[in-house]
Amino acid sequence: MSAAIADRRLHPGTILLRFLKEAPGAVLAVPAGVAFASRGGFTRIFALVAVMTAVVVFSKWLAWRRFRYVVGASEIVVESGIFSRNRRTIPFDRVQDVDIERTFLARVFGLARVRIETGAGGRDEGLLDSVTLAEAQRLREIVRAFHAVAPQAEAAVETAPEGRLLYAMGVPRLLLFGLFSFSLMYIAGFFALLQTFDGLLPFDIYDPARWMGLIGDYLPERFTAAAIAIVLFLAVLLGLIAGVVRTAARDFGFRLVLEGGRFRREHGLFTRREAVIPRRRVQLAAVDTGPVRNAFGWSGLSFQTLGSGGERSGRQAAAPFAERDEVAAILAEAGAYRLPPPPELATVSRRHILRSLVGKLLPLAALILAGSLWRPQLLFLLLFLPLLAIGVAVERRFHRYALDGELLFVARGAWRQRLWLVPVANVQALSLSRGPLQRRLGLATLSVDTAGAPVVRAPRIVDLREADAEALAARISAYASGRKSGTER
């Protein structure tokens, strides 16, 4: 079926268009050219420009010549590349939309740039730069006609406009949330502020001799314990106030409304923001909390969405500060989501501690030992290493996972606790990786890839026992590729 021969080319005007587009950039190279050709005079500059133009036009021509595409019965095939040949097949099923862009220059030539969107991470998936406007419209018609045959689930959903309030944040809760948003950052900010008004204070807070003196027995008369207490109290107070103000500005009047198949969210004190999160675009849910917040039963819920067209891709807050029941209620409306079942999530292998320690402790210890060759006092730092070990052990207690039916739970973080809820049906790919040390310890890391995921904090289960990892991967992939029904465990 992919035997379609790519025989269509872009419009030849493309060569000129691309050349003109890059010409302004080439102007920057002129001073260098002038410097080079200054001895040869005008003719030499002219020759240089001519050669450069010829080279650029030739390369554009070559790229044009090597670029071919064809619209087959159910896919678009694009061939490109001057030296490396690439043949890309984009099935119509995967095409979300066909965008037609017309820059001013393109309009002059009667051309248009066609962008075929497939939702694959938002890069240049299929770019036809450029074809005639008629050709662009033909492409769009073909794709739209193909999609029109398939029934649109979306249309039915849009006809239920009246919304249902799922979550709203009142003023008392907003204030409480603000208090929890207290951060040491504000204390740093406070001290930065102090520095600005340095002259107004009776002492110099940045005088290291004073601080050193404080540790010793030297205390200036004004620098009493009371003064220090007041400064600290002010810093904490300011931190709290700043937290409340910032939170109020962002989340005042936070409301989450369910309208048909979409969540509508509005928030903000000075600028009211509104966003729509279509339910079917939700890829996974994340519940964030911290040790203190969790003790009081508070957590925040956000969704990771796959954007298309103008919609934003990425993390969208659904309820920044909510009780467990509220989170559960929103999750229930989001589709296949729920909080983890009562049987506790499983922890990763104990050897995870060992591996983390080898990775963190050894380099640090080596650094300290090396440093102690010059300054023997540094050896005292070794006393802090056991603390690191305790930290690693605690982190492991908070790194948990479970696959419950079609929902994968991954929890991570002792301080910034996050629980991911990943419907297996949304898993795009999964991979097991084993580093040299992991192989020795019989461990493996399982990462599941979802659409719209951030690169840094994505659900990963680090250091599972190898056998567990393989079994889990097999179960996930079985669900993900639809071999098992949802009820089966």
Partner 1 sequence: MTPLDPAFFRLLRLNGAIAGAILIAAAFVVEAILGGRLGLPRGTLAAPAVLAALYLVVLSPARRYRAWGYEMGVEELHVRRGVWTRIYTIVPLGRVQHIDVSQGPLERSLGLSRLVLHTAGTLHSQVVLPGLWRETAEAMRDEIRGRIAPGEE
- Can you give the binding site for partner 1, defined by CB under 8 A? 1-2, 75, 81, 83-91, 93-94, 96, 118-121, 123, 125-126, 150, 280, 306, 427-436, 439, 447, 449-455, 458, 473, 477, 480-483
Residues 47 and 55 sit within 8 Å (Cβ to Cβ): no
- Least CB distance to partner 1 at residue 91 (A): 5
Q: Give strand pairing partners of 132.
A: 111
Strand, coil or helix: what is 462? strand
Which one, 290 or 307, has the nearer CB to partner 1?
307
- Least CB distance to partner 1 at residue 124 (A): 11
Residues 76 and 126 sit within 8 Å (Cβ to Cβ): yes
The secondary structure of 115-140 as a DSSP string is: EEE--STTS-SEEEEEEEHHHHHHHH
Residues 127 and 114 sit within 8 Å (Cβ to Cβ): yes
**Euclidean distance between CA atoms 55 and 66, whole angstroms:** 16
- Least CB distance to partner 1 at residue 455 (A): 6
- Least CB distance to partner 1 at residue 123 (A): 8
Which one, 280 or 397, has the nearer CB to partner 1?
280
Which one, 4 or 249, has the nearer CB to partner 1?
4
- Least CB distance to partner 1 at residue 483 (A): 6
Which one, 174 or 422, has the nearer CB to partner 1?
422
If one counts every other C-beta atom within 10 angstroms of the C-beta of residue 158, the result is 12
Which one, 151 or 208, has the nearer CB to partner 1?
151
Which one, 81 or 341, has the nearer CB to partner 1?
81
Contacts of 248 (CB under 8 A, 6+ apart): 174, 175, 178, 269
- Least CB distance to partner 1 at residue 351 (A): 17
Which one, 239 or 423, has the nearer CB to partner 1?
423
- Least CB distance to partner 1 at residue 231 (A): 45
Which one, 172 or 454, has the nearer CB to partner 1?
454
The secondary structure of 259-285 as a DSSP string is: ETTEEEEEE-SSS-EEEEEEGGGEEEE
The end-to-end CA distance of the chain, in Å, is 37
Residues 30 and 24 sit within 8 Å (Cβ to Cβ): no
If one counts every other C-beta atom within 10 angstroms of the C-beta of residue 182, the result is 18
- Least CB distance to partner 1 at residue 86 (A): 4
Q: Interior CA angle at 387 toward 381 and 389, to 5°?
A: 115
